[in-house]
Amino acid sequence: EVQVLESGGGLVQPGGSLRLSCAASGFTFSSYAMSWVRQAPGKGLEWVSAISGSGSTYYADSVKGRFTISRDNSKNTLSLLMNSLRAEDTALYYCAKDSSGMGNYFTWFDYWGQGALVTVSS
Amino acid sequence: DIQMTQSPSSVSASVGDRVTITCRATQGITNWLAWYQQKPGKVPKLLIYAASSLQSGVPSRFSGSGSGTDFTLTINSLQPEDFATYYCQQADSFPLTFGGGTKVEIK
């Protein structure tokens, strides 16, 4: 059974840092691109960042230069390091598995974690 | 960046109705489009991919159509469990983008 489970959310002050992690199981992790998608309270879905199976990375303009996505294929884990956090980064952050089994393809998301809540506030 | 515009933003419908939601891209994306359903407090669920392919386990009353810039999600014979918010997402190019969502409410 495919599972993705986020951890690391919490309350952080503006300008602070936080690292989210996602533990994956039930599929060949290295064969799939992975993404982070966020949802601010009461708002829609916003793609944040993606990483291919081999480690190529992509970012939304809103987080470029502040967030860093990475993966450890030996540990089946995905991470998102968030620096210089702003109030507008407050959201539920989902770890999402790409549906394509071709690790360097980015398509749509067939499995989502339950989300990690990040609150940026003083 | 490719912007995705959904309409309507909300629709009121009754059980048994047919509901149609549209999604328009600011440039052609061939068929690189997916549809998701999200219920309150729940995780988004993939319904349709590649514009018209039904994800495994999704009821056949859901269907998708379109290519290029204009796409449609149709729900035939709306069921009580279908009241939710629906999102489209383009996968043609980065940044990946979602539509603003369409809330299907009970009439």
How far apart, in Å, do the first and last CA atoms of chain A sit? 40
Predicted local confidence at residue A39, as pLDDT: 98
Predicted local confidence at residue B48, as pLDDT: 98
Mean pLDDT of chain A: 96
pLDDT band, residue A99 (cuts 50/70/90): very high
User: Cβ of A47 and B96 within 8 Å?
Assistant: yes
User: Cβ of B32 and A107 within 8 Å?
Assistant: yes
Q: Which residues pair with B7 in a beta bridge?
A: B22
To which residue do tokens 């495919």 refer? A2
Q: Where are the alpha helices (DSSP H) in A33-84?
A: none
Predicted local confidence at residue A102, as pLDDT: 82
The CB-side HSE value for A11 (13 A sphere, CA atoms) comes to 2
Predicted local confidence at residue B71, as pLDDT: 98
Residue A110 contacts B, CB cutoff 8 Å: yes
pLDDT band, residue A31 (cuts 50/70/90): very high
pLDDT band, residue B107 (cuts 50/70/90): confident
Segment A33-86, tens digit of pLDDT: 999 999 999 999 999 999 999 999 999 999 999 999 999 999 999 999 999 999
Helix (H, G, I), strand (E, B) or coil at A113: coil
The CB-side HSE value for B86 (13 A sphere, CA atoms) comes to 29
φ and ψ at residue A78, rounded to 5 degrees: -120, 145
Strand pairing category for B62-67 and B70-75: antiparallel
Segment B10-58, tens digit of pLDDT: 999 999 999 999 999 999 999 999 999 999 999 999 999 999 999 999 9
Chain A closest CA to B87's CA: distance in Å?
Answer: 8
User: For B83-103, what is the mean pLDDT?
Assistant: 97
Mean pLDDT of chain B: 97
Predicted local confidence at residue B58, as pLDDT: 98
Predicted local confidence at residue A104, as pLDDT: 80
pLDDT at A103 over 80: no
Nearest CA in chain B to A44: B100
DSSP codes, B36-86: EEE-TTS--EEEEETTTEEPTT--TTEEEEEETTEEEEEESS--GGG-SEE
Which residues of A are less than 8 Å from B95 in CB distance? Answer: 47, 58-61
pLDDT at A105 over 90: no
Predicted local confidence at residue A41, as pLDDT: 97
Residue B83 has a CB neighbour count (10 Å cut-off) of: 17
Predicted local confidence at residue A33, as pLDDT: 96
User: Cβ of A106 and B91 within 8 Å?
Assistant: yes
Q: What single letter denotes the amino acid at residue A66? A: R
User: Cβ of A106 and B99 within 8 Å?
Assistant: no
Segment B50-80, tens digit of pLDDT: 999 999 999 999 999 999 999 999 999 999 9
For residues B3 and B95, give the distance between their C-alpha atoms in angstroms, rounded to a whole number.
Answer: 10
What DSSP element (H or E) covers B13? strand B10-13
Residue A100 contacts B, CB cutoff 8 Å: no
